[in-house]
């Protein structure tokens, strides 16, 4: 989700007034709903939960929640508590300190909530009311009286929003129906979630509320799912909805299934060609469907895809293979499929990299769902822009799930967020004073070589210190990393000791040994191949003389042609492996080898490769010929 999304969950199950029955579900409901709403793969909301607050605290939280919002904000407010009705028919939400006889002072009027929703500048606002209206009245209680039905939605009239683009209200029940907690209302039963909130959590968490399977759970999808679920569990409870909103509102991502596109039906002439008895006619129809599969119009391409799937599953092998070949073009192909941001300073601006989606338009059409909260994903014209939030320090590892019409793939993301590195202080003595300028003129860029006049005073006794020397091609080192780089330059002297640095690893390289082994194995493969060919030739000649009663398998075994052929295959493959190891060692440990040794190693590996590959191919062909022809000869 790209918008700023905020949710406030108010759950009250403890009341000071003895007349208000203790509710069992709100605390459990709040935790479950907060989990799915906060999940970046589902709701991606910033969630705040307020439990068992006083009326004054609830008013402050609600008004603060709606204030200072922007047009691209989405707000979701969820009440799980008692709903009370005043003698004048107004609806109130009970707080922990609510006194039923003092509703104006100790409860939250529905009109207060409606006013906050109307004045907010947020683009969209959704209100969920899982309020136990009937359960608010204990049997035999004199402090709370039910004075007739209350129509909940009448407290939220469908007037046009003032600041935002729209709002919606969904209630667990209307009038004086009970909002059931589980399948009973007994106070001494074990805690069970509310039927309404349980349906909301299940629909969002499993993706089952995505009724049109488009990868998103819209408000209408969720209400239809919750309505059917609640009515199935308790026919006496009827959820209600009122909406004053322009456009479709996607409440959450769906984990279920792949995205779907309304397909354009295949033309009747093409449909008739697919049903033809003529193989060539059906083949031509498949090729036409392949062209339609690449169409810029996604509904046209989706119609072609559905027909190709049908052909691939029902037609003969030749036609089905053509259909499968066409369908492979629309598989999701992100490039790259792995992003490594490396070391990122903590608190730096969001680091971003791009992922390109390859293939025809239908293959580039997908829904991206990040699995971690620190991942930021935005669609672009040719793919995705992936960002890493640098607020949290440490090693970050996560995935972006891409869902298309044909398949699903994952883009893996790695990053290490650490503190910003400050430049290290100089570790070497300050440079000696600059020499006196040369007498006369000196060309720019040249160094004066005129020696200063030798002093007549004798040099004081003591050891002579040597000035650190750096070659002309290497800048004077200022930190350990520069010193390491300069240490590989001929003539460099370590400033601290005045001696050339030792190599990190003076062990001899293994590339020449691998190269020699590769050449030896390649020669062995040639020898065994010749032996196998000779034995096979004798076996074939003997089989030809035997006539109709002969069997090539008996002749091959008698002359032992399979053993040298097998040895040939193994030695040729090992020769290629040894050559690859030699080239790898030569490339990764280049400093260990002289130019002559490196050149000789490359020559040996090239010769071994040139010998082993042809022998390996010929041996494989002979083996295949034997396996195929032994039954017929």
pLDDT of residue 248: 75
pLDDT of residue 64: 94
pTM of the model as a whole: 0.47
Residue 375: name the closest of 410, 348, 408, 350 by CA.
350
pLDDT of residue 389: 84
pLDDT of residue 74: 93
What strands lie across the sheet with 383-388, from one edge to the other?
334-335, 351-357, 383-388, 375-379
Domains 4-253 and 334-418 share a fold: no
pLDDT of residue 251: 86
Cβ–Cβ under 8 Å, residues 150 and 86: no
pLDDT of residue 514: 86
The fold adopted by the segment(s) 4-253 is Rossmann fold (3.40.50)
Every domain of the chain and the residues it spans: 4-253, 268-330, 334-418, 511-629
The separation between CA 280 and the C-alpha centre of its own chain, rounded to angstroms, equals 44
Total Cβ atoms within 10 A of residue 142: 7
Ranges of residues in the chain whose predicted pLDDT is under 70: 1-3, 21-22, 24-25, 133-165, 174-193, 255-258, 420-508, 547-549, 590-591, 631-633
Query: Average pLDDT of the chain?
Result: 77
| Beta pairing partners, 366 | 404
Measured CA to CA, the distance from residue 583 to residue 257 in angstroms comes to: 46
Query: Considering the domain 334-418 in this protein, what is its CATH number?
Result: 2.60.40.10
pLDDT of residue 476: 41
Cβ–Cβ under 8 Å, residues 123 and 71: yes
Q: 307-321: buried (b, 16+ CB within 10 Å) or exposed (e) per residue? A: bbeebbeebeeebbe
Cβ–Cβ under 8 Å, residues 238 and 173: yes
Helices (H) and strands (E) in the chain, counts: 16, 18
Total Cβ atoms within 10 A of residue 624: 10
pLDDT of residue 447: 43
């Amino acid at each position: 989700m790209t918008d700023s999304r905020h949710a406030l969950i108010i759950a009250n199950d403890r009341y000071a007034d003895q007349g208000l029955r203790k509710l069992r579900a709100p605390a459990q409901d709040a935790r479950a709903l907060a989990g799915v709403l906060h999940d970046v793969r589902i709701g991606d909301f910033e969630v705040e939960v307020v439990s068992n607050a006083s009326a004054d605290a609830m008013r402050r939280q609600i008004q603060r929640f709606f204030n200072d919002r922007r047009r691209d904000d989405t707000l979701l407010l969820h009440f799980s508590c008692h709903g009370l009705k005043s003698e004048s028919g107004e609806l109130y939400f009970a707080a922990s300190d609510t006194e039923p006889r003092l509703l104006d002072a100790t409860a939250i009027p529905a009109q207060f909530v409606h006013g906050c929703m109307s004045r907010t500048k947020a683009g969209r606002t959704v209100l969920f009311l899982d309020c136990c209206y009937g359960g608010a009245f204990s049997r035999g209680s004199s402090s709370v009286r039910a004075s007739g039905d209350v129509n909940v939605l009448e407290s939220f009239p469908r007037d046009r929003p003032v600041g935002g683009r729209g709002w919606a209200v969904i209630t667990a029940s209307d009038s004086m129906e009970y909002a059931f907690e589980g399948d009973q209302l007994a106070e001494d039963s074990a805690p069970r979630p509310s039927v309404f909130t349980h349906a909301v959590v299940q629909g969002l968490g499993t993706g089952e509320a995505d009724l049109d399977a488009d990868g998103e759970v819209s408000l209408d999808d969720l209400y239809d799912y919750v309505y059917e679920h609640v009515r199935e569990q308790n026919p006496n409870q009827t959820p209600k909805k009122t909406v004053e909103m322009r456009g479709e509102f996607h409440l959450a991502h769906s984990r279920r299934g792949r995205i779907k596109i309304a397909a354009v039906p295949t033309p009747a002439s093409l449909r008739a060609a697919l049903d033809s008895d003529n193989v060539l006619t059906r083949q031509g129809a498949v090729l036409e469907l392949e062209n339609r599969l690449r169409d810029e119009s996604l509904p046209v391409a989706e119609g072609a895809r559905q027909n190709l799937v049908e052909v691939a599953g029902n037609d003969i092998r030749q036609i089905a293979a053509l259909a499968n070949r066409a369908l492979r073009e629309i598989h999701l192909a992100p490039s790259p499929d792995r992003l490594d941001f490396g070391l990122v300073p903590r608190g730096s601006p969001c680091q971003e990299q791009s992922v390109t989606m390859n293939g025809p338009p239908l293959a580039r059409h997908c829904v991206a769902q990040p699995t971690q909260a620190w991942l930021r994903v935005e669609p672009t014209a040719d793919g995705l822009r992936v960002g890493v939030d640098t607020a949290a320090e440490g090693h970050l590892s996560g995935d972006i799930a891409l869902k298309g019409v044909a398949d699903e793939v994952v883009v893996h993301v790695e990053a290490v967020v650490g503190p910003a590195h400050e430049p290290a202080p100089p570790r070497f003595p300050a440079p000696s004073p600059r020499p006196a300028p040369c007498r006369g003129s000196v060309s720019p860029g040249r160094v004066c070589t005129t020696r200063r006049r030798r002093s007549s005073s004798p040099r004081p006794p003591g050891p002579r210190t040597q000035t650190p020397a750096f070659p002309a091609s290497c800048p004077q080192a200022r930190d350990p990393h520069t010193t390491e780089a300069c240490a590989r330059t001929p003539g460099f002297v370590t400033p601290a000791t005045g001696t050339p640095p030792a190599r990190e690893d003076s062990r001899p390289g293994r590339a020449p040994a691998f190269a020699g082994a590769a050449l030896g194995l390649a020669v062995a493969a040639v020898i065994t191949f010749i032996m196998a060919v000779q034995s096979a030739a004798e076996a074939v000649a003997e089989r030809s003389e035997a006539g109709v009663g002969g069997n090539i398998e008996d002749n091959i075994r008698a002359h032992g042609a399979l053993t040298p052929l097998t040895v040939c295959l193994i030695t040729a493959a090992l020769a290629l492996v040894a050559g690859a190891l030699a080239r790898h060692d030569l490339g990764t440990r280049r400093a260990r080898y002289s130019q002559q040794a490196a050149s000789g190693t490359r020559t040996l590996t090239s010769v071994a490769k040139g010998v082993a590959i042809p022998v390996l191919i010929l041996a494989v062909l002979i083996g295949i010929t034997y396996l195929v022809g032994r039954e017929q000869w």
